[in-house]
Amino acid sequence: MKLFDSHAHLDDEKFNKDREAVIEEISKEVDKFISAGYSLAGSEFATELAKKYDFIYATCGISPNDIPQNEEELWIMVRKIKELVQKNSKVVAIGEIGLDYYCNKENKELQKTAFIAQIKLANELDLPIVIHTREAVMDTIEILKQNPVKNKGVFHCCPLNRELIKEALKMQFYISFAGPITFKNSKNANEIIQMVPNDKILIETDSPYLSPEPLRGKRNDPRNVKYIAQKVAEVKKLSIDEIAEITNKNASTVFKVTNHH
């Protein structure tokens, strides 16, 4: 079974004590995974991991929760992200980028500026984007409509919001599901999973956060992507092997990942 975890944060300090050992274990169960950057430091770390391990790829970007407090610093940071991407062939997307009005309400305009700047960077570097959106659905969609993304991309850990999924699919984006679809209190997960056609679906862990059932509350890692695959398989009435194959193919397509690095 070839599982592709499209979004994990192996740079997180929760892995500081045993990162190498965990990656060794992951390699036995997971075909590939993407170490997702969300800050300059996180992006640098992701590229280091991707250099070191064949089956790891990286994304680089500044998330809405990690943008600096003023525009001047933001532009410096975006420039550094650009340099980082140009130096590393295993960077497969600009991300995670987007809007988060749950954590930060007072800098909405700066968040929008950062999002648009990094969409432009992705277009310039011919890469897709990885989108983080939380309690900012309408603004996220609005920005994507006004700033078309050449290589599309992925709504990571996509909120289970019908309107968002409808609009995202219209714009040809991929939808990535994470642990929350397995949670007992996730009311409309089945309906939302059904909404996403098989050729647009990805799976991810968002490690070390959001451990799926039956591991809620524990540290998450890419091996647990099988639980997400299992849930999607149940809803789509397919086997877990079929879902692994479908989502691996989709992730390889959107991120232009080939097997011969």
pLDDT tens-place string over residues 87-97? 999 999 999 99
Q: Which pLDDT tens digit goes with each residue over 131-168?
A: 999 999 999 999 999 999 999 999 999 999 999 999 99
| Residue 87, Cβ density class (10 Å: 0-12 exposed, 13-18 middle, ≥19 buried) | exposed
CB atoms within 10 A of CB 186: 15
Phi, psi for 24 (deg, rounded to 5)? -60, -45
Please determine, for residue 169, whether its predicted confidence score (pLDDT) is greater than 50: yes
Angle at 71 between CA 149 and CA 126, to 5 degrees: 25
Provide the whole-model pTM: 0.96
Share of the chain above pLDDT 70, in %: 99
Q: Are 216 and 178 in contact (CB under 8 A)?
A: no
Whether the per-residue pLDDT at 261 is higher than 90: the answer is no
pLDDT-derived band at 259 (thresholds 50, 70, 90) equals: low
